[in-house]
Structure 1
Amino acid sequence: MAFTLIVFIVVVAAVLALAQIVAGVIGLGAIVGAVAAGALAASSVHVVMEWEKAVVMRFGRFNRVAGPGIVFTWPIVEFYTVRIDQRVAVTYFGAEETLTADLVPVNVDAVVFWMVFSPKKAACEVEDYGSAVSWMAQATLRKAIGRASLAEVACRRDQLDAELKDALEEKLDGWGIDVIDVEVRDIVVPRELQASMAAAAVATRERDARMILAEAEADISDMLKDASANYEGDPEAMRLRTMHLAYESVRASGGTLVIPSAFSEGFTNPDAADALAKAAKKG
């Protein structure tokens, strides 16, 4: 506005000075002519910022995209409709109480990062491209949530982000808008469902823990069967195992280990070792 006002004042002053030189007097006609010339000049010179583009129309039809810097247009014949900001914009959007595929209402908040790559399309194809991005993102988010279960929405945020980005790119490309990224910020489940979901998660973890314990017990029993088969018929191996167990017990206790006489006979008596091996196998 300051630049336009300065142009208007300079042109009016120049016209009045010219009238003074030519006619020697400044009359009403000179004043009216100076004001008209100033208004035309002010409407013909525009300043467009570095991050903007001006869409220039001529007789109502698209003519060119101009800027940044000083942009000149023909008075009356040309005018620019809008300045398109080509910086990256951030739009917040959300979906409140949207039903998932398993009929659970959730509240989802997200943001979309976008920018205008075609000022012509943004000015001519859509009335308010900023509001269009917001409403389109919200509608796309609701559709994506409705196609997925609650577990998929909560656990697969990256997949949901990618799905939203692809869908928005396809729809906004015709408006000259490029989607840079979509990020889901928060997913809120109703309070009355949180307790039941927590109980289900605890039950699932307990089931998994019991399955892992059962698998470990099965592996241990298989290994014990293999060890028993190896010791069977080999009293020397059984004696060495007995000595190893005694050594480990002494080292763990840090002192002297008192063992029964029947157990100690396994170190010297082969027959006792055989009996101990059979007893171990039965046990």
Structure 2
Amino acid sequence: MGFSLRGRASAADAVPRPVEATEVTDNEATRVGVYLFALALFAVGAGIVTAAWAAAAGSVDVLTAVVAVAVGLLAAATVRVAPQWERVAILRLGRFSRIAGPGPYVVVPFVDYAAMHIDHRIMNSSFSAEAALTADLVPVDVDAILFWMVWDAKKACLEVENYPKAVLRSAQTAMRDAIGQVNLADLSLRRRQIDRELQEVMGAKCEEWGVTVMSVEIRDVKVPPELEDALSKEAQAERERNARTILAEVEKDISEMFVEAAEVYERKPVAMKLRAMNLAYEGAREGKGILLAPSGLADGFDLGKILED
């Protein structure tokens, strides 16, 4: 009798693990209350008809059940409820009547109908521009996220067929136009500027649809794999060139300092002897008391000669 690896893994998986910071749990608002309200109206309408029929006729038959169901459906279709974040476009005989909600509202059955339920909260939509050409004709894939909201439900319902799809299509077009105006090298450096330009362009276009663009944020820019290697080599070559330039400038500064020191030593020989003494001291300290130096270096220790000079 033995234990399999599958059984051990299952036992380990049963232990609760902490949720990472990057994980996002679903916390969306629901419309369950709206459905429960409609169900309650249906039950109340059907119950009233059934109770009244039973009190009048003394019994309940199939006709009573049919009438009760019809009245219940009529009550649920007449009085409705819209959540706080929702607006409802009501059409009467095909013409725009009003914007209802939030809260309860009444429609006339077979005359009024809800054409569209419009969410007034801030929406976030991801979109991408694939194979968009930069100004130097390099194809890139750009992923971005768009934050927007509807401020005029009437315009969103009447001015455009499908306003969420229209907003995304407009965002993709504006993104391609913005990328086509910059080079690949400037794309990563001007991301914030491109975000602001996209927000302005999108805001002016979507204003006619009753939509406000809050912000546009570029998340990722991908270049073709064959181009990544070339860009990496170019960046390495650029860094190597900069390093060599800096090294050459340092060597130039050091050589100039050596020339100035030589001029000082030539004008004042005592400075050369003091430097020799300093070198001897440093050599002795680093060599743990053992000094190995040419015999001419001992002249630097002749203080009398130094003072005569």
Quote the Cα distance in structure 1 between the aligned partners of 2:121 and 2:295.
Answer: 89
The 1:254–1:61 alpha-carbon spacing in structure 2 relative to 1, beyond 3 Å, is farther
Q: Which segments of 5 or more consecutive residues in structure 2 lack a partner in the other structure?
A: 1-34
Q: Which moved more, 1:59-68 or 1:213-222?
A: 59-68
Quote the Cα distance in structure 1 between the aligned partners of 2:175 and 2:155.
Answer: 24
DSSP-derived class of the 1:126 partner: coil
Deviations 1:172-230 (A, max 9, x none): 23222233332323222222222222222222122211211121122222222333333
Total equivalences in the alignment: 275
Taking structure 1 as the reference length, what is the TM-score of the superposition?
0.80
Q: CA RMSD, aligned part only?
A: 3.4
| Residue 37 of structure 1: how far off its partner (Å) | 5.2
Is 2:231 aligned against 1:197? yes
Query: Match for 2:254: what amino acid?
Result: I
Work out whether residues 270 and 306 of structure 2, in 8 Å CA contact, stay in contact via their aligned partners in 1: no
Q: Which moved more, 1:124-133 or 1:6-15?
A: 6-15
| Residue 38 of structure 1: how far off its partner (Å) | 4.5
Is 2:175 aligned against 1:141? yes
User: Hey, what does 1:250 align to over in structure 2?
Assistant: 284
Q: 1:226 aligns with which of 260, 270, 275?
A: 260
Q: 2:163 aligns with which of 113, 125, 129?
A: 129
Q: 1:43 aligns with which of 77, 85, 88?
A: 77
Q: 1:211 aligns with which of 234, 239, 245?
A: 245
Work out whether residues 111 and 182 of structure 1, in 8 Å CA contact, stay in contact via their aligned partners in 2: yes
| Residue 10 of structure 1: how far off its partner (Å) | 2.8
The 1:209–1:33 alpha-carbon spacing in structure 2 relative to 1, beyond 3 Å, is same
Q: Which moved more, 1:215-224 or 1:161-170?
A: 161-170
Is 2:48 aligned against 1:11? no
User: Hey, what does 1:181 align to over in structure 2?
Assistant: 215
Q: Percent identity?
A: 45
Q: 1:95 aligns with which of 100, 114, 129?
A: 129
Quote the Cα distance in structure 2 between the aligned partners of 1:98 and 1:228.
Answer: 62
Work out whether residues 202 and 213 of structure 2, in 8 Å CA contact, stay in contact via their aligned partners in 1: yes
Taking structure 2 as the reference length, what is the TM-score of the superposition?
0.74
Quote the Cα distance in structure 1 between the aligned partners of 2:303 and 2:59.
Answer: 142
| Residue 93 of structure 1: how far off its partner (Å) | 1.2
User: Hey, what does 1:158 align to over in structure 2?
Assistant: 192
| Residue 45 of structure 1: how far off its partner (Å) | 1.0
Quote the Cα distance in structure 2 between the aligned partners of 1:274 and 1:230.
Answer: 18
The 1:220–1:24 alpha-carbon spacing in structure 2 relative to 1, beyond 3 Å, is same
| Residue 32 of structure 1: how far off its partner (Å) | 8.3
Q: Which moved more, 1:106-115 or 1:150-159?
A: 150-159
